[in-house]
Structure 1
Amino acid sequence: MTGGETAMAMVERGQELALLEALLASAVMGRGRVALVGGAVATGKSTLLHTFAEQAIELGALAVTATGSPLERDIPLGVLRQLVEDAPLVPQERERALSLLDEGVRAVTSGDGPDDRQLDAQLVSAICGVLLDLSERCPLVLVVDDVHHADRASLLCLAYLARRVRLAQIVLAFGHADQAWYTDAYFQTELLRQPHCRRVKLTRLSRAGVAAIAAERLGDRAAERLADELYAHSGGNPLLVTALTEDYAEAARTTHEAPSAVVTGEQYGQAVLACLERGDPRVARVAQGLAVLGDPAALDRLLGLPATDVHRDLHALGATGLTALGTFRHEAARQAILAAMDAGERVELHRRAAELAYGAGASPGVVARHLLEAGRVDAPWGVEILQEAARSALRSGQVDAAVGYLRLASCACADESQRAKIMTMLVRAEWRINPAAPAGRLTQLAEAMQRGSLRGGDAVVLARALLWHGRVDDAREVLDHVQEPGVATGHEALAELLVARLWLRAAYPPFLATLRDTAGEDALAGIVSVSASRRLESALALAEVLTQGPREEHADTVERILEGSGLDEMSMDTIENSLLTLVYAGRAGRAAPWCDLFGAEASARQAPSRRARLAAIRAEICIRQGDMPGAARHARTALETIPVGGWGVAVGGPLSSLILAHTAMGRYEAVREHLDVPVPEAMFQTRYGLHYLHARGRHSLATGYFALALRDFQRCGDLMREWDLDTPGLIPWRADAAEACLRMGQVQEARELLRAQLDGEVPDDLRGRGIALRLLAATLEPAERPALLRRATQSLQAAGDGYELARTLTDLVGTFEALGEYRRARTVAARARAVSAECGAGTPAVAASRTWDEAVPARPPAAEPVGALSDAERRVASLAAAGYTNREIATRLYITVSTVEQHLTRTYRKLGIARRADLPLVLEFGDQAAT
């Protein structure tokens, strides 16, 4: 041990060392002394004795040392032999001493001699005389560490020697662990009754002492920052403190930066085990039981020990610093003890702990944790307890624990029907982690269904899982089976079928015909819980939005469902249906904060499947808001959280958003990489396939493959009409097909598609209207385009789609340039560039079609006179600049046509213009147009 290490080890031990040095000074004067150095395990007794021995040598004394060991406790005179062998004896003395020790060993082991405590007095006197004679030549310090582990014959000799050193130049220093109840009480009693014996009591370090050790090892700043945490985790035990500083330093070296908190690593675990190994084996046993139970209740019954003994041993653990208030100071200590236990013994303790917990009426979660650790279920109540614990764990977001409980319950369950239910629960639980995980169980469930063990709602769960993984034939078979007489009985099962129909309607329309609408009022009667009611309402809202178009009541319904509910208070289907209802109803801006809220909760609860599905929805929201970088980021998160293979047919969702985003940003190489990803053929029988066709068509359109793009858009439209999902809120396929026709010169076909979309629109679909109006303007002469493009701009601004707004503004720039209105073109181009930059769009949205005269001023000269307009005049002039007729303006503002004409006349006079086309752009686009 170096000088620095010695100084650290002796923190808050100065007084004790000074007392031992004072005893040595008395011994030098011929007044021998005895010191019994006590304290809890690993509180620094050995270090203190070692330091004292080294200082004794420096002061001219002889230091002779020995150490007791539990492995050598049955070796007669083993500790005394260590002292003799360490003493600097001349050959004749050493030979005589060893001969005496051998004689003593024979006397103890022969069976003919007296009892250990009655070991021949002459023999004991002769052996001790060797050391007493040595002290006459030089002051002698005899140090025996861990004397509580010494053999009884050695203890007898040491007690004899302690009585004889009073007039000798000898200091006897014994290290003794407190709570070492198995030590021969005779030895302690004999020493403490001697007037020349002193007791030295070591306590655990204070917070200041812990900080001092940390400062030496980690530096002052880290020590001050970590002192409280180090003290809390170690209880002031020097061994534990040192281990924690070593773990911290190792973590800092590994990560190349200082951790923000205390690190409990390998050194800490080893130190915990060392504390137990140095103490009473029964204390270690109690520590193992405590590690299994987690708290001291029923510890005596678990271990089969008297309660008083357990209480005493718990006190010993607390004195060591391993526990506080009956529990381990850190979970890492508990885990280290469990890991070091014999596997069979650990399993048996957990089995007994489960029985005790069940008998005491503990919660299912407590009982189930012990059963899971035991790895088997012997009791008849075990399976039901595991199921109940799994339900509770799923409600609180502890998915991994629930999966463990259900797997064990499935293995232990002998009833086939019950096992099928358990496996259904397991599929749902594993789905939250990774949808690919339960794929291997689907065949088993299908076989259970054929045997009649899987019925009602559980069979619907199986069908949904099969559809997700593209096993359409198997799914049809299950859906057919579930409608057979006697399979789906009871209100709850019928309600599950009703929700399943709505789910198929929105996501897997071709399979809707497979599931007949036979639920009726009996199914509604089965909606007895709030959760089930929310599932039904959200599924119904989504189905109606996709089939009938958006209405405000749909948005209000799902927001009421989402409000005030946590992620685990609702099924993921309820959340997904509600968010998609808002998205397809044109309320992407209202869906975004809800999606972010639930996404953050999914991350906090470590529910990767839910996090991925929410990220996919968030990507779709970003697409409709024109946030292309955000869409790409969220889509990547979804595909990284769940690999492509785990998405099944739903991979079309995030993959489509990624393709659309990269296409809009002009990253065509990245798009080709995503288009090369194999997708299930069954995907094209789902809503996700519609999104994929649309995204692939957009990429073909952007890269000049117009015919391929038109083919995808038309196929998308055919499926949407066939499935009765033909609403632009889902996919505006007619507008996209019209754009492809325009690129190929088929103007009339494009016009017909756009008129069809506009004729079928609903008032709330602002995004679809804006897209259609932009493209319809392209079918007209340049002079007729501005009015439509202005209206498209207003719709897209209200819808919040920055990308489509940028495209519309870019078209308006080209129109103004075609008309020779370069000042307008320049002003609108500036805004188009700004909007394009905000949404991360590529070249199609930012490049003007040609340059303009640099001499034209960037700001309209009439900006100042605009301020002279009254509010009423400004409102009328703004609508006129946007292309509305006088009658349309009168209708929107609830005034007469004559009033509109009067306002415009005064406006023309104030601004010094003669016609509507000369109205300043600040009135067309607001104040942003002038910047």
Structure 2
Amino acid sequence: MTTTQRETVLARLCTAFDACDNRLGGSVRRVVGAVGSGKTTLLEAFNDHTSRRGSVVMSAIGSRAERDLPLGVLSQLVDTAGLSRESARRMTALLERVVPEEAPPRPDADGTAHAAGHGAGGSVTAPAVHELFMSLLDLAKERPLVVTVDDAHHADDASLHCLMYAIRRLRCKRIMVVLTESPTLRDAHPLFHAELQSQPHFAGLTLGPLPEDALGAHAEEPAVDRPGLPPAGELLALTGGSPLLLRGLIDEEPGAGPRSADTSASRPGGPFDQAVLRCLYRHEPEVRATARTLAILRGPASPPMLAHLTGLETECVTKALGLLRMCGLAGTDRIRHPRIARAVLADLPAEESRRLHRAAATYLQEHGGEPEAVAGHLVHADWAEPSWAVATLHEAARQAMAKGRPDLTGDCLRLAARATTGASRHADMDALLIRCSWQINPLSVTAQLDGLREAVAAGHAQAPAAVAAVPLLLWHGRADTAKALLTAFTEGDGPNAADGRLSAVRLLTSLAYPDRLAEGGAQDRPVAGTGTATSAAGRQVDAVTLLADALIPERAGRDVATTAERMVQRYMAEPGALGTLTAPLVALLCSGMSDLVNAWTRVLLDRPQIHRSPVWKGILHAIRAEAALRLGRLGQAEEQARAALREVPLEAWGVAAAAPLATLITAATESQLFMEANQWLARPLPADTFRTPLGLHYLAARARFHAATGRPQAAADDLRWCGETMRKWRMDTAGLVPWRLELARVLLGAGDRAEGTRLLREQLAEGRGVDQRTRGATLRLLAAEAPAAEAEALLTEAVDVLENCGDRLELARATVDLGDVLRRGGDADGARGMFQRAQQLAQSCGSPRLAQQLARAGSEPAACPPEGHGGDGALSQAQLRVAMLAAEGHTNREISRKLFITVSTVEQHLTRIYRKLNVKQRDELAHLLSSARAGAVPREA
């Protein structure tokens, strides 16, 4: 029913009424529409129209519950006519005389026995019916009479007999009859309908479903105050054009209604679910049974299959499917939408649900159904008794894991495990169960890992479970157990030798814990040969080999970034390849391709299957957080790292917790939110964390915090620890941790220019695995220690490099440094443009405090020591701000609060200021600054 169609049907009814009002004869109109199609609303609008025109309106509503009440509909008509007391008493007396005769009961569609028919084939007291008709004519003498019956298919037979008596005599009367009906499995009043359609003044009208444009128009009506409703296309998919379902959707609380196929986004039992059940219970029991079976199956179902499961005739099921399609609950061969299926299943008793699932599993197994479909029903029925059940569950578990469904994999394997014991257990299935359980909750596999450790110690470990558990052992910091497993199994042992899974986990262990299995790094193959494997094990070897190429500089010389992106593109389409994709994403990150990592992780996080694996989703959030941090997007980095910890609680991350924590610490430090950074630093980590590359990443973040809060010695210690460990592990690459650059920041800030400069030049040396981001930041710091002419060239190159790699934060700092050099060289316009651009970049980073600092830097003159003072250089931007506040008489604590730095940092700045300006106390400093204002050179690390 389009909007115009509804208006057209109403207009036709009104036209027929106008003819009746103008004494052109009575008429009968029958409006047929599916349950929930808006027939009642239409009838109410028509009654309202005729009432305003001065007609006498008699209305009634048919009900399944009152179908056996003789003259129940006719009594409603009399009660609603607005008669005087005398007329009402006379009509009631007439109704009492219309007494149905006894007849054998007739069965209804649901098998219930009802009173005998009194329709066209029955009989009532004819004189009383005639007197009743004459009374109706009396009502229509002065004004037209309108008789409307909603849901006439539920009317009692005696009332319909009386109506038909009147309908036969309407041609010259001012009486109009309007009936609304919904299609049913079986026509409850076939003789009545046959005679009705033979009347010359009869016409039938039809209400269809709302089309897409009408649904959108309804949702946009001023009375509909529900922001966030789906677009018209989704509304059609969800409601099938049913006005009843659309109204239920609109009535959902904002934010709680169905917005997509994801049923978790909506509140169960809400107005939409209630609308579904209202629609369902207005049909016969056979229709409800068909809908429930469709909901159980969740997929396409043929009429023979439905007939078998429901115990109904195929013809009956076919008609029921048609009725469900008409009312918007079903499509061609399935329930239309998951929200509808959920509402139907919520109304299904538990025992009946299990029975249907058992029946569905058996039918599908006997007719060659997919193992996943069969296993799904077995799991819902909690039933593994048939002889074929365990094998089907195992095969379904393999298929589900390949499709990225660890939830279904675990359900299948746990059900199968309860049905098998001892020698019948499958080691590869136990391994699969560990893997899928870990993907949902890493803490859930602790008991299995403990048992595996005991099995290794006793020499009873099975190769499939052992090899599959190695990555999980590494995650939980149990490197010793992992090493023992790898020592116990050689490449020639067990069924895993052929597919190379043992090689993959050996290399992974050597990368994750280099001091535990250093010899694993020697087992490799050229990266040029990766990305073409066809087996799952081969892809794992490819991915881990590529990661080794990215982390170990001596393996460099191959285009790791290009191969990594090709690998991501190839495996992106495979639902179960999320684990394989992690290694090339990290390789891209270490190669300086943070923008690509940010883009690919966004695509992966939007895929539906990622929501079934909280661990892989958390890992992707953590990788994207680090990519955002390396792009200088502090707000996004914090948001993504927090999302990672929401998906997987911190205690479940094992040693990998260092990754999101390091990102959060660095983002808070760069935003000068030192209390927040300190809170993240207070979170505990497993002891073995610092024996992994991720632990070094965490150390670098902690060092950045120490340096920013005035503890340069602690920062230097952490960074030297990083450097020594990375050299020992042969992972001395800036893509992992640019420890030379970070240590140089600390040393230059502490005044050790010689060592700081040496480290910067060493960082740029060939063979250090320097990505463009590290190169740009290194050039910027070198420029700070170079003469003015050389500094401008270095900063210009740094700006170009950082702009190409996308690090907004370092680019903002390099840009403001270049602006200061230009300003000191007399290029005021060029400097102003640089300062403005730097401030915009800082704002886009999500660092308001840095933006404020850069804004002040652009508004102040260049910093130079006053003439006559033997200072050893210009004041930096930070030093100038501290000097001016100290000269104004502020205490160190007041200065720390105003500048959002620690008291220790204030003290260090004052020490360097006194040395540069050759003064000994604040009074001299105030006198000096009053005679020559100092500007700022922003050289903050």
Q: Is the 8 A contact 2:552 2:732 kept in 1?
A: yes
Distance 1:843 1:78 in 2: 80
Distance 1:500 1:624 in 2: 29
**What displacement does 1:277 show?**
3.0
User: Could you list the per-position Cα deviations for residues 316-341 of structure 1 after superposition, in whole angstroms to 9, with x for gaps in the alignment?
Assistant: 33444555545555554444333333
Residue in structure 1 matching 2:715, options 694, 709, 718: 709
Matched with 1:14 is 11
Asked whether the 8 Å contact 2:775–2:801 carries over to 1, the reply is no
| Aligned equivalent of 2:595, options 592, 595, 613 | 592
Q: For 1:623 and 1:118, how far apart are their aligned partners in 2? A: 79
**Is contact 1:567–1:598 with CA below 8 Å preserved after alignment?**
no
Which one is further off, 679-688 or 706-715?
Answer: 706-715
**Separation (CA, whole Å) in 1 of partners of 2:171 and 2:630:** 95
Match of 2:701 in 1: 695
Normalized against structure 2, the TM-score is what? 0.69
Equivalent residue number for residue 281 of structure 2: 277
Tell me which amino acid in the other structure corresponds to 1:128. V
CA gap of 1:329–1:692, structure 2 versus 1, over 3 A, is closer
Aligned to 1:885: none
Which of 291, 315, 320 is residue 313 of structure 1 equivalent to?
320
Q: Please list, as runs of the form range in 1=range in 2, the aligned pairs for 1:27-46 lying within 5 A after superposition.
A: 38-43=32-37, 45-46=39-40
Deviations 1:828-874 (A, max 9, x none): 9889968965576988997799714999xxxxxxxxxxxxxxxxxxx
| CA distance, structure 1, for counterparts of residue 327 and residue 34 of structure 2 | 5
- What's 1:730 paired with? 736
Residue 682, structure 1, aligned to residue 688, structure 2: yes
Is residue 851 of structure 2 the alignment partner of residue 851 of structure 1? no
Q: Secondary structure at the match of 2:204?
A: strand
The CA distance in 2 between the partners of 1:53 and 1:835, in whole Å, is 69
TM-superposed CA distance for 1:464, in Å, is 2.4
Aligned partners of 2:622 and 2:641 also within 8 Å: yes
Structure 1 distance, partners of 2:589, 2:236, is 53
Distance 1:634 1:406 in 2: 33
- Structure-2 residue corresponding to 1:495: 500
Question: Residue 410 of structure 1: CA displacement?
Answer: 5.4
Shift of the 720–352 alpha-carbon distance from structure 1 to 2, 3 Å rule, reads same
Q: Which residue of 2 aligns with 1:351?
A: 358
* SS class of match (1:511): coil
Work out the CA distance in 2 between the residues paired with 1:410 and 1:593. Answer: 43
Residue pair 2:626, 2:637 contacting (<8 A) in 1 also: yes
Task: Determine the C-alpha separation between the residues in 1 that align with 2:723 and 2:697.
Answer: 11
Equivalent of 1:304, from 293, 311, 314? 311
Q: Secondary structure at the match of 2:516?
A: helix
User: Are 2:553 and 2:769, in contact at CA under 8 Å, matched by a contact in 1?
Assistant: no
Shift of 1:683: 1.3
Q: Which residue of 1 aligns with 2:516?
A: 511
- What is the match of residue 551 of structure 1? 556
AA aligned to 1:241 is P
- Tell me, in whole angstroms, the C-alpha distance in 2 between the residues paired with 1:153 and 1:776: 101
Structure 1 counterpart of 2:279, one-letter code: C
Aligned partner of 2:246: which letter? Answer: L
**Residue in 2 that maps onto 1:69:** 63
1:851 maps to a residue whose letter is A
- Distance in 1 of aligned mates of 2:328 and 2:815: 72
Cα distance, 1:458 vs. partner? 2.9
Determine the C-alpha separation between the residues in 1 that align with 2:266 and 2:723.
Answer: 60
Name the CA distance, whole Å, in 2 between partners of 1:598 and 1:281. Answer: 49
Shift of 1:248: 3.6
Q: 2:132: which partner in 1?
A: 131
Paired residue type of 1:464: P
More divergent stretch after superposition (204-213 vs 63-72): 204-213
Mapping of residues 267-666 of structure 1, within 5 Å: 267-293=271-297, 294-297=299-302, 298-320=305-327, 322-323=329-330, 325-327=332-334, 330-397=337-404, 418=425, 421-422=428-429, 424-429=431-436, 431-432=438-439, 435=442, 442-443=449-450, 455-470=462-477, 472=478, 476-477=480-481, 479-481=483-485, 483-484=487-488, 488-492=493-497, 495-512=500-517, 529-549=534-554, 551-553=556-558, 555=560, 557-566=563-572, 568=574, 571-584=577-590, 587-588=591-592, 590=593, 592-605=595-608, 606-607=610-611, 609-621=615-627, 634-639=640-645, 641-664=647-670, 666=672
Partner residue, 1:869: none
Inter-CA distance 454–214: structure 2 relative to 1 (3 Å threshold):
same
In the alignment of these two chains, the number of paired residues is 815
1:71-102 alpha-carbon deviations (Å, 9 max, x no partner): 23344565566567778666985785576578
TM-score, L = length of structure 1:
0.70
Deviates more, 1:647-656 or 1:122-131: 122-131
Gap change, CA 1:483 and 1:180, over 3 Å in 2: same
* Mapped pair 1:183 → 2:188: yes
Query: 3-state SS of the aligned residue for 1:178?
Result: coil
1:488·1:494 contact (CA, 8 Å) conserved in 2? no
Aligned to 2:206: 202
CA shift, 1:503, in A, is: 1.2
Superposition CA RMSD, Å? 5.8
Residue 553 of structure 1: SS of its match in structure 2? coil
Aligned equivalents of 2:533, 2:237: Cα separation in 1: 50
The separation in 2 between residues aligned to 1:772 and 1:405, in whole angstroms, is 54
Q: Quick check: 1:292–1:338 contact (8 Å CA) kept in 2?
A: yes
Distance in 2 separating the partners of 1:793 and 1:213: 59
CA contact (8 A) 2:430 2:465 kept: no
SS of 1:731 mapped into structure 2: coil
Contact 2:219 2:250 in 1 (8 A): no
Residues 645 and 278 of structure 1: CA distance in aligned 2, closer, same or farther (over 3 Å): same
Offset of residue 283 of structure 1: 2.9
Measured at CA, do residues 382 and 747 of structure 1 come closer, stay the same or move farther in structure 2, by a change above 3 Å?
A: same
5+ residue gaps, structure 1: 1-5, 258-262, 856-931
Q: Partners in 1 of 2:225 and 2:506 — Cα distance? A: 67
Aligned 8 A contact 2:16 2:27 in 1: no
Aligned-partner Cα distance in 1 for 2:71–2:311: 34
Going from structure 1 to structure 2, the CA distance change for 1:592 and 1:709 (only over 3 Å counts) comes to same
Q: Secondary structure at the match of 1:200?
A: strand
- 1:469 deviates by 2.9
Q: 1:481 to 1:393 in 2, by over 3 A?
A: closer
* Contact 2:510–2:520 (Cα < 8 Å) also in 1: no
What SS does the aligned partner of 1:463 have? helix
C-alpha displacement of 1:444: 6.7
> In proportion to residue count, which structure has more helix?
1
AA at the equivalent of 1:304:
G
Counterpart code for 2:320: D
Name the CA shift for 1:355/1:37 in 2 (closer, same or farther; >3 Å): same
**Are the aligned partners of 1:502 and 1:540 in contact in 2 as well (CA < 8 Å)?**
yes
Query: Do the aligned partners of 1:603 and 1:611 also contact (CA within 8 Å) in 2?
Result: no
Other structure's SS at 1:509 match: coil
Give me the identity figure in percent: 31
Conserved in 2, the CA contact under 8 Å of 1:39 and 1:202? yes
Change (3 A) 1:851 1:450: closer
- Deviation digits for residues 640-685 of structure 1, max 9, x if unmatched? 5544334321122232233334444544344323222232223122
CA distance in 1, matches of 2:589, 2:40: 71
Task: Tell me which amino acid in the other structure corresponds to 2:151.
Answer: D
Whichever residue aligns with residue 138 of structure 1, its letter is: L
Provide, for residues 456-486 of structure 1, a one-character-per-residue CA deviation record: whole Å limited to 9, x for no partner: 243233232233233x3xx533542464369
Taking structure 1 as reference, are residues 490 and 422 closer, same or farther at Cα in structure 2, changes over 3 Å only? closer
Instruction: Provide closer, same or farther for how the CA distance between residues 356 and 481 of structure 1 changes in structure 2, counting only shifts above 3 A.
Output: same
Q: How does 1:153-302 map to 2 (within 5 A)?
A: 174-179=179-184, 181-189=186-194, 191=196, 195=199, 198-204=202-208, 240-241=242-243, 243-244=245-246, 247-248=249-250, 266-293=270-297, 294-297=299-302, 298-302=305-309
- From the CA coordinates, give the structure whose radius of gyration is larger: 1
